[in-house]
Structure 1
């Protein structure tokens, strides 16, 4: 999102004088003027914070905490709008509540053309809702298909509704979030109601973490990415809020009226926005556009999205002939077992930030390191030239048996080269690719410095992780026990996130520990 400069002459735009119904008969409450003035002040405060770009991890954390406190205050004042978006008697805060609504969803899906006679929706401990095989399924057998007409995307909105958000600077995939807000607030009048009515009311994405839960990620490689995700979404919402309620005097910007409509007609509030964004983050898939098949568009795919992830091969694809999503079995599945699909190669850091889950058996997991050259290094230009030739995009610590990625190894080698060694490699850049390989022929002193650097770096990372995160296996077992005994839905949701964070930290530490042992062995050679 673009930066928003503070204007001392901002004032609240006039609001409707009374509670009103939107075009679908849903009552959108008007907040008291006092509350709206407080919200405007809070939103401006958040904008002031968000305009300051953090320059180090401590500033990044402080920025996050300050913004979260403002958002929590805003959510308190927006509670009437939250209740409008999530009525207590329609709130899907647990799996049983969602499963109870699946009969009408199944009828809607089957009537719309979904073919799924081999699977049914059920609850699986540790997974929530998923797909259960109703009969034996063979590997490679087509299990279900979803027609294009049941895939929800912004294409289903009218042009007038799409214009509500089209003037706001945004990332393309945000269009689906805006479209979902509009469709959800149609209520039972929406043709998508049987589907939207089954979506979770809460998610395990970073947008739902408390400050205390986010604190548990400090010291891990994923912390910065999680904080950035929260910052981006907060900025998106506050920018839209500004368009709707805080405008320079005499502003005639087209986006103002559009965003005001999204708030006043569809009751947008932060809780509804983070729900829509989380729904899209955890469920979206790319499908060809209707009118421009050469381009993709983000869409939600009912029923198919109920399948949980297991490592294997991708067996879902968009069939341009039948115009639908087809899914085959990646492995044989017996009747009564859970049917899994593979979401694709991704690290647990990516899965945690964007999808709110951790795969404890993920062979594609890794720990991303953030390394850079020193600004005071007199040889930095030569190092930069050599690294540019290598085109290093990421530096990863990997699970066994690889441990250290070629990109990470090459960076550390270049980082530790002497002037003469840099001159040698820069004089023959075509050979630079050899630095990516473990068996590259290098001077003994350079290889020793390389592995010593990796040893010290890994030891430091593990030390920071253990110093800030002193959890044990007993703590995780206690969390699991508390999860079973939790008295209410809110406590269960909190403990689910706490358990996920414990799992993530343990998996990251395991990768780092294994890599440290490997490096130690290299130093003995």
Structure 2
């Protein structure tokens, strides 16, 4: 599920406000937007007395509990009639165009086109109360300017570029289908189904949909598991929260239950999954504070740069790749991951020690020298990553002084990610310093000969 409507760029404000005092909230139930949405959902069978929209000083817009919620109690039960899925689209005025198109379309494209067309219809749309409540822009990488992409960590930068290209490809490769919809549009199709409009819809679906597996359909291609869930999608993410969520085939409702319970007038949260902050930024456009899953990724290019004097490096990198050992190499506040240290142990070996390469990947300790070399190399990697982080934070600080508000929102989110990255790397370096001291006092037991 995605982030709430006013989450975009609010993370920097959140930390400043937390320093000033306790979290405060203001009800948003009286606003016309909220009233229209609740009326729209009520007409479709949804009633809720447990939660109300509210603005919180630490997270922006979310949902507030109106009474104590017991462990195991239902938080939200949203009827299927309130969910916006591909079935909704296929049963709409767009259905005949989709069903008669020359090849099956992706569920994501179908939902995006429906959102754009419905926003184009304005108040004439049945879904206007929901669509008008959606954010008008996002802080996902698809919206990032080039200058913002440049200050992202390397791993995020690559995926951010891929995300932008995916949206552009979706727009450019479906122009013929878009033109076929001119009959249902009141303005020229090129003015309605623009790249900017499709990008908005793409981010709306990707950041706000819940997972709901649907049966295969001859008119659609690929997995169909998106469902937009009005009101429910106002729930914000809390990394350490436990809830149960999913579509109930018996009640035909999407249901969320609290595991530990919630106090009255507190913000109700949901857990989007065990995601680190890089993934949260890429998929939802925000960074979670105090995220226990946060790590810093070590890219292959950095390994090659640090070890560029090794004549057998290419062969060892190839060996690691063939054994699926070049992905998810990370460091956390507790130190380097097992996968990273295992890869470094192999990289410490010479070409003449090829017979030990497999043993290294199996996690066997080789010798004291190998351990010392691996720890030293891990320190070098962390130091280079930390230097890159400091450089990026300096660039972000300069950019914030001369950029406009939309770019400022994007930079604020990236700055939080970079600040967290710096904290993780500093903690990891401290852990590695301790490992160096321990390595000199630990006997070489279990060494492979």
TM-score, structure 2 as length reference = 0.77
* TM superposition shift of 1:331: 3.0
Corresponding position: 1:331 with 2:263: no
Q: What does residue range 86-485 of structure 1 map to in structure 2 within 5 Å? A: 99-158=31-90, 159-163=95-99, 167=103, 172-217=107-152, 219=153, 221-240=155-174, 243=175, 255=177, 257-258=179-180, 264-265=188-189, 267-289=192-214, 296-311=224-239, 312-371=241-300, 377-378=311-312, 380-381=314-315, 384-385=318-319, 388-389=322-323, 393-400=327-334, 403-426=335-358, 434-435=362-363, 440-470=364-394
CA distance in structure 2 between the partners assigned to 1:314 and 1:379 by the alignment? 46
Q: What does residue range 484-503 of structure 1 map to in structure 2 within 5 Å? A: 491=405, 494-503=407-416
Structure 2 counterpart SS, 1:204: coil
Match of 1:18 in 2: none
Higher-RCO chain (CA-CA 8 Å, sequence separation at least 6): 2
CA distance in structure 2 between the partners assigned to 1:232 and 1:176 by the alignment? 16
CA distance in structure 2 between the partners assigned to 1:522 and 1:332 by the alignment? 41
CA spacing shift, 1:109–1:282, aligned 2, 3 Å? same
* TM superposition shift of 1:398: 2.0
* TM superposition shift of 1:129: 1.6
* TM superposition shift of 1:505: 0.9
Match of 1:511 in 2: 424
* TM superposition shift of 1:325: 0.6
CA distance in structure 2 between the partners assigned to 1:424 and 1:134 by the alignment? 62
CA distance in structure 2 between the partners assigned to 1:178 and 1:432 by the alignment? 51
* TM superposition shift of 1:378: 4.1
Instruction: Render the CA deviation track for 1:300-326: whole Å, top value 9, x for unaligned.
Output: 011111111112224211111112210
Instruction: Render the CA deviation track for 1:151-182: whole Å, top value 9, x for unaligned.
Output: 102221243232587748x7653332223223
* TM superposition shift of 1:193: 1.7
CA spacing shift, 1:513–1:175, aligned 2, 3 Å? farther
Match of 2:446 in 1: none
Does the aligned pair in 1 maintain the 2:72–2:258 contact within 8 Å? yes
* TM superposition shift of 1:368: 1.6
* TM superposition shift of 1:395: 0.9
Does the aligned pair in 2 maintain the 1:165–1:259 contact within 8 Å? no
Structure 1 counterpart SS, 2:63: strand
CA spacing shift, 1:256–1:208, aligned 2, 3 Å? closer
- Cα root mean square deviation, aligned: 3.3
CA spacing shift, 1:321–1:96, aligned 2, 3 Å? closer
Instruction: Render the CA deviation track for 1:88-129: whole Å, top value 9, x for unaligned.
Output: xxxxxxx97994311011011122122421111111123222
Q: Where do 5+ consecutive residues of structure 1 fail to align?
A: 1-94, 245-254, 483-489
Does the aligned pair in 1 maintain the 2:44–2:82 contact within 8 Å? yes
Q: Where do 5+ consecutive residues of structure 2 fail to align?
A: 1-26, 218-222, 439-449
CA spacing shift, 1:98–1:228, aligned 2, 3 Å? farther
CA spacing shift, 1:172–1:417, aligned 2, 3 Å? farther
Does the aligned pair in 2 maintain the 1:154–1:162 contact within 8 Å? no
* TM superposition shift of 1:424: 3.0
Does the aligned pair in 1 maintain the 2:211–2:227 contact within 8 Å? yes
CA distance in structure 2 between the partners assigned to 1:508 and 1:222 by the alignment? 12
Does the aligned pair in 1 maintain the 2:77–2:256 contact within 8 Å? yes
* TM superposition shift of 1:229: 1.5
Structure 1 counterpart SS, 2:202: helix
CA distance in structure 2 between the partners assigned to 1:132 and 1:256 by the alignment? 40
CA distance in structure 2 between the partners assigned to 1:148 and 1:135 by the alignment? 25
Structure 1 counterpart SS, 2:52: strand
CA distance in structure 2 between the partners assigned to 1:290 and 1:221 by the alignment? 34
Match of 1:520 in 2: 433
CA spacing shift, 1:496–1:383, aligned 2, 3 Å? closer
TM-score, structure 1 as length reference = 0.67
